Amino acid sequence: MTPRTLPVVRATASVGPAPLRAADEPGSAVGPLPVAAGPGRHELDDRPHDECGVVGISGMENAAQQAFLAMYALQHRGQEAGGIVAFDGSEGRVHRGTGLVSEIFGPDTIAGLKGHTAVGHVRYSTAGGGNLANVQPITARYARGDLALAHNGNLTNQLDLRHRLVEDGAIFRSTSDSETLVHLIAKSREPTVDAQVLDALAHLEGAFSLVLAVDETLYAARDSRGFRPLVLGRKGSGHVIVSETCALDILGAEYVRDIEPGEVIRVRGARVDHLGSLPPVDRPSPCIFELVYFARPDSRLWGVSVDRARRAFGRRLAREHAVEADAVMAVPDSANSAALGYSEESGIPFELGLLRNHYVGRTFIKPDQKDRDFGARMKYNPVREVLDGKRIVVVDDSLVRGTTSRSLVRMLRQAGAREVHLRIGSPPVRFPCFYGIDMPTKGELIGSRMEIPQIAETLGVDSLGYLSLEGMVDAVAEAGPYCTACFSGDYPAPLVDVERGFLSAEGPSTGR
């Protein structure tokens, strides 16, 4: 498919994203449009999801190709859709689609995205994975030029802002909270693009790590609490902005530094300028769930090795919940490091008791209602020789609904495990997230509905042990304090949309 140029939108009060095709009709209602969740979604996946990863490239030949490679490294942050916008000095060109990065972009597509500046985005949607109107980067042509925006996080006042903007005549084409920022920039009365960006960001509450391009000028910003990661790298005379350091590695780029909480920078090729700072808060609150589960273990977040953090969780877990067993195994792949830490501390050998199928992808096969373990068997298979007759410690990073864990325990027992002791490398997840994690509503969280002994009985394990909140925070204290809202219910940023009745306190059910 040939990349398309950005549409012209003349009225700065009603800037919207580029429609992907005529069938993507705009909507102007406050709040999310009704969309259907993809079939087989929760049957096959019981994990929380980070909603996206962002990429910005400036001052490089074939910037779109560099963005593609970085998005490939960030694929774990979003597997349902992606897009790249490239700028060549005269116009912006965009290509977006659903699926994995390798499915969306081919050699011809990348070749058509010419320019030295690019913005990229990988997305996991909380609902309506096929809704192309929400696929980022969001694009528009406003009074100052072509604009592209890629955003990681959730704004906690976006419905309130959307309501005000709609009342003032704005027309929204998507249900994404990210589009709110485009309208705020377009409506700002400040005299320069730099000032308009700063003015717009000052209206936002909640979590945002974002990359924004206006023609060939790149901007990057993090909210003042620093919920989501964002790092700056250098390659030759150009610069790279990405969600995680693992994306720098695939490009052969040098890590320069983290974008600081509340910092706004402007990048043009070899030049990086500090544009300004957002209003300060009492303390930064980086999301500790990034270290527990989301980030790749080969990344460094906030100066902390993700692999070493998870091993520290596992070692602390072994001290808090020791048990006699013959082998320690992980629920692959995100719990591998924590399981190694548990093994190192306990002295119990680490074994590969479960293998993960990495080629499941998205499926539209609906299991028979009687087949309770369909989703787990699609993703995992036990190694009988490791399990038969053994007492097994199974380490997982988190427990959300509990449906997959229940199926896994049955699989392990059917493979011959004599005892199954489940250890979780984080505390019980009891509260919904409003800052960029696709987390079930409070009523769906097993940790909210049940006490630990009841959870153990429901899962069918011989014992269940969670890492304590204090133990988790102490294990990585060097980069704290953290946001622990999904474990503790302590929300550091105001939940404006909840307070004003736009959103249920049970948790957001839709997003970008």
3-class DSSP assignment, residue 457:
helix
Locus of tokens 């920078």: 265
Helices first, then strands: H and E counts in the chain: 19, 24
Distance (Å, whole) CA 38 – CA 131:
10
3-class DSSP assignment, residue 504:
coil
Inter-CA distances, 42 with 131, 361, 462, 467, Å: 18, 13, 26, 25
Distance (Å, whole) CA 294 – CA 350:
23
Distance (Å, whole) CA 256 – CA 269:
15
Query: Cα–Cα–Cα angle for 353, 354, 355, nearest 5°?
Result: 130
* DSSP letters spanning 109-152: HHHHS-SSEEEEEEE--SS-TT-GGGPSSEEEEETTEEEEEEEE
Distance (Å, whole) CA 268 – CA 59:
7
Distance (Å, whole) CA 57 – CA 48:
29
Sign of CA dihedral 278, 279, 283, 288: negative
3-class DSSP assignment, residue 453:
helix
Give catalytic residue positions: 52
Q: Are 75 and 100 in contact (CB under 8 A)?
A: yes
Residue 95: which H helix or E strand, with range?
Answer: strand 92-98
Nearest residue to 208 (alpha-carbon basis) of 269, 139, 278, 300? 278
Q: How crowded is residue 163: how many other Cβ atoms within 10 Å of its Cβ?
A: 15
Query: 233 has which bridge partners?
Result: 240, 255
Q: What is the largest CA-CA distance in the chain?
A: 73
